Amino acid sequence: MSPVPIAEFDVHPNALSPNDGIAFGPFLLLPARRELLKDGESVAIGSRALEVLIALVERHGETVEKRDLIGRIWPRTVVEDCNLKTHVAALRKALQDDGHEHRYVVNVPGRGYCFVAAIEYIGRAPPSAPLTNELQPALRIPSRLRRLVGRESAIETIGSKLLDARIVTIVGPGGIGKTTVALAIAHQRRAEAGGLVSFVDLAPLSGAALVPSALATALGSGVRSDNPIPSLVAWLAGKRMLIVLDSCEHVIDAVASMAAELLEGVPDLQILATSREPIKVTGEVLHRLPPLSTPTVSDALTASSAMGYASIELFVERTSERLSTFQLGDPVAPVVADICRRLDGNPLAIELAAGRVDAFGVQGVSSLLTDRFALLTGGRRDAPARQQTLMVTLDWSYDLLPEVERIVFRRLGIFAGYFDREAAARVAAYDAVTAADMLGIVANLVDKSLVSADINSGMTRYRLLDTTVAYARKRLLDLGEFDELAKRHATWYLQLLQQTEEADQQPLDGIQRGARGNVADNVRAALDWALTGGGDLNLGIQLSIASVPLWLRLSLMNECRIRIYRAIEAMAAAKIDDEWIDMQLQTALGVALYSIGPGPEARSVWTRVLQIAGRLDNTDYRLRALWGLWVDTVTGDNHATGLTLAKQFAQLASKVDDSLAWFVGDRLVGTSLYFLGEQGEARTHFERMLSRPPAASHQSQIRRFQFDQIVAGRGFFSRILWVQGYPDQAFREAQASVDEALAHRHSLSLCYALGQSACAVALLVGDFEAARRNVQLLIEHAARHELRLWQSMGRCFSGILQIKLGHKSAGIELLSQAINELRNAGFALYHTTALCEFSAALGSIGELHAAQRAVDEALEQSSRNDERWCLPELLRTKGELLLAQLGTSAAPAAEALFQRSLQLALRQGARAWQLRTASSLAKLHRETPDHASHALLARTLEWFTEGLKTPDLMEAKALMDR
């Protein structure tokens, strides 16, 4: 390790004065005499080890950097870190610091050291006028046992509130750190000029009548009477004092009454209270203490970034105190983050979890959190009894509730995530509590820090923290109430989803993001209960069907597939034979299977739906089945067959009054014609389609046909525009499709717009910045929603972009991987053109044999699938590769391929391909200026009226100029 540079040790504001003595454990430190005593006897300790001790005690509870310690002990000298470690080890030996029961000095990895034992100053007086004899022995404040983590902002904010307010109450759930913060403020106030502070622990009191006597005892006032408050007012008169009333919740009325009289009678008095609910006296200012910061779910979390979150810093510090070898590494950082997240950033719960790492390891603690009340025990022996275990901490709050609030509280534990007032009333109300009563009861539970209210979105919604949910559910299970509540909960969310679908007015994303809260989390919980042994199978099947629009709206296709599989398996196990239900489940399954690619299973599912819909004479489901079969065919099989299915769909749609079906019919026929190379006729269908947008809502479009159909239509229309030679219009239409999908906030429609048009068109017109944005957006949304096919397409486009930007090696590797993924999934929709790009890229780096294999595979697939739209470009690419491989000897064969490509492009009206092939012919005959190919290129260039800055047109113009 390199030497530490010379540094000066600044004098700390808490530097010890000559008259100070500091007691901790059995020790007494006398800095002025440079002496350490144990039980009155001098302790043998080296001078530098003693200097380390004094420096750490001066900054008790803080981490002292190694650099600062070295600068103090070896001023103006360059030394190694190991010198400091030697003296710290000597100090620990002198203190008999065993790291467990007797813990004084803690190593903070990568930073320095911290003195953590409780200390008491002997002989120090505040810098103000000395206390009177009657007050000095009484005004004792419990020591700060440990360094505060993550509460600096709270201490500063509460201190600011105390500048103006006479009573401030720190409110929060059990274990959140209210007492610890109040103690820190009390010590801070005691150190200020004229700061008199008294601390009163009300937790041990068994009755409200004892509250004034407890204060009198803490003050040492000697007040003795049946009504001590007037005497306390008189005794406190003229004194500027802060009284800290800790743990007020179980004697809240008595505290409120006493506080009101004291504040009225003693003008210079201030009160800082801690409670799980407000005291509710005039002038009270609340400070709700939040949980410690925790990271959101992230695979990119490292040990370094994790330590920026207070909850993780606390976990690491407390674990290191018990397990000196513990180090937070990158592999374990996400696990620690998950522990802290599941414990809601609650400091007590985190400390209890950290105390179990030495027994079970971090992974073990994480897995055992499913029974957190058994795991999280064994708190500090010097902690209050109510903080020895997590269960006792919550019992303390629960036992203080009136019976009616206990019942509602544990019933609210059935919710997963957020819920609104109506949901609370429908699920948690019972005979003695009406829906109208719920408003006040929920408000009381919010006051008592057992329910959290979110009012930031403009619509109030509620939730219980995860640990509180676990406690409430344990109570439900212990009392045999869980299944009844679970059924009411599942029934309510079934009704909510059915009402939303029937009204078709309130989008599902509205109830998901709004006051109704996280509908998806609650539906998941309801399904998990309903389709298990103790649940309700019929309710679970109904809820599985009703939840499909929700999964589609949230683009959670994989989850939809898994949920439907479970419902189908449950039906089969129960031998339920109902074709109407079967048809709905099979339809949902067919839609969900699109997320993993076409194949025999999808085809079988849609064929079954078509058969059942025919028997039931249900036109809507016949249309859905034909759509599903068409999707399966065009993405993985044959476009001629796809056109037949599309025409069947359109013919059936023409017989019903259904504007959405008409719209979709034109889109399917137009898309199939595009792939077959019939660009003129395809454009006619798309123009007719876009001229008569459907009256159906965005929600209805997704529910029936997976995507927003206008987004899908505009996106695919852009492809036709580009092939026909309108690059600027194509780019605008593609981006408009993306913008519309973003406005709808529907990731599946967005992936369609990006994957089927916007990424490809941006690359084709040479707007690489737009291509980069589009590709990144596609990959992000596809990954977030586990849409594997769209992820593979995103990687295809990413590889092509890298190649075009000149990073050929990386781009080719990425493109090769993505092509294999598409091939394995049977997804032919972009596979052919990706092979063409791959072939050209291989040719550009001299891998000519591999390039020929790739283009031949693409040509074979084009022939097998009737994928003629890109055939002109495939033929042109093969011709260019022949020339690169064989030179002028291959000129006749290459020209034949170019001529065939040209004829196909002319027949299809594909001027974009015509331009590329005309350029290839002109290059082939560049030594013959009067060759017909040059005139052909000139005529083709003259036709284009837009896109003059695109790569194809610029290259063609450069050829003509040469």
| 838: its two tokens | 């791959």
Please write the tens of the pLDDT for every residue from 395-421: 878 888 999 999 999 999 999 888 888
Q: Confidence class of residue 116 from pLDDT cuts 50, 70 and 90? A: confident
pLDDT at 297 (0 to 100): 74
Q: How many other C-beta atoms are found inside a 10 Å radius of the C-beta of residue 707?
A: 24
**Which of 1-5, 748-752, 910-914 has the highest average model confidence (pLDDT)?**
910-914
List 286's β-bridge partners, or say none.
169
Average pLDDT value over all residues in the chain: 85
User: Contact, 737 vs 701, CB < 8 A?
Assistant: no
pLDDT at 214 (0 to 100): 83
Please write the tens of the pLDDT for every residue from 939-958: 999 999 999 999 999 999 99
Q: Which residues of 415-445 are buried (b: 16+ CB within 10 A; e: fewer)?
A: bbbbbbbebbbbbbbeeebeeeebeebbebb
HSE-CB of 791 using CA atoms within 13 angstroms: 14
User: Contact, 708 vs 698, CB < 8 A?
Assistant: yes
pLDDT at 18 (0 to 100): 44
User: Contact, 209 vs 254, CB < 8 A?
Assistant: yes
pLDDT at 754 (0 to 100): 95
Please write the tens of the pLDDT for every residue from 562-611: 999 999 999 999 899 999 999 999 999 999 988 777 788 999 999 999 99
* Order of all β-strands in the sheet with 41-42: 41-42, 35-38, 27-30, 21-24, 120-122
List 288's β-bridge partners, or say none.
171
Per-position DSSP letters for 168-210, written without gaps between them: EEEE--TTSSHHHHHHHHHHHHHHSTT-EEEEEE-TT--SGGG
User: Contact, 927 vs 906, CB < 8 A?
Assistant: no
- Residue 479's alpha-carbon distances to 411, 533, 884, in angstroms, are 11, 19, 80
User: Contact, 293 vs 309, CB < 8 A?
Assistant: yes
User: Contact, 877 vs 847, CB < 8 A?
Assistant: no
Please write the tens of the pLDDT for every residue from 454-484: 876 667 888 888 888 888 999 999 999 999 9
- Compute, in degrees rounded to 10, the torsion defined by CA atoms 557, 561, 566, 569: 160
Please write the tens of the pLDDT for every residue from 203-241: 877 778 888 888 887 887 655 556 778 888 988 888 888
pTM of the model: 0.72
CA pseudo-torsion sign 857, 862, 868, 869: negative
Indicate if the pLDDT at residue 126 is higher than 50. no
Q: Confidence class of residue 20 from pLDDT cuts 50, 70 and 90? A: low
The proportion of the chain whose per-residue pLDDT surpasses 70, expressed as a percent, equals 89
CA 761 to the chain's CA centroid: 32
Q: Which residue type occupies 391?
A: M
SS3 451: coil
Per-position DSSP letters for 305-363, written without gaps between them: HHTTSHHHHHHHHHHHHH-TT----TTTHHHHHHHHHHTTT-HHHHHHHHTTHHHHHHH
Cβ neighbors of 95 (< 8 A, separation 6 or more) are 25, 27, 53, 102, 104, 105
**What's the rounded mean pLDDT across residues 160-187?**
91
Output DSSP code: residue 754. I
SS3 243: strand
**CA neighbor of 908 nearest in space, from 719, 627, 770:** 719
| 368: its two tokens | 């055992």
| 934: its two tokens | 């040059």
Please write the tens of the pLDDT for every residue from 470-527: 889 999 999 999 999 999 999 999 999 988 765 544 445 444 444 445 788 899 999 9
Cβ neighbors of 758 (< 8 A, separation 6 or more) are 715, 718, 734, 735, 737, 738, 770, 774
pLDDT at 850 (0 to 100): 95
Q: Confidence class of residue 15 from pLDDT cuts 50, 70 and 90? A: very low
**What's the rounded mean pLDDT across residues 192-204?**
79
Indicate if the pLDDT at residue 935 is higher than 50. yes
Q: Which residues of 463-490 are buried (b: 16+ CB within 10 A; e: fewer)?
A: bbbbbbbbbbbbbbeeeebbeebbbbbb
Alpha-carbon span 96 to 77, nearest angstrom = 30
Alpha-carbon span 25 to 360, nearest angstrom = 30
**CA neighbor of 13 nearest in space, from 62, 48, 47, 76:** 62
| 638: its two tokens | 């044959």
CA pseudo-torsion sign 593, 596, 597, 601: negative
**CA neighbor of 451 nearest in space, from 392, 397, 511:** 397
Please write the tens of the pLDDT for every residue from 598-616: 788 999 999 999 999 999 9
Q: At what angle do helices 347-354 and 310-322 cross, to 10 degrees?
A: 30
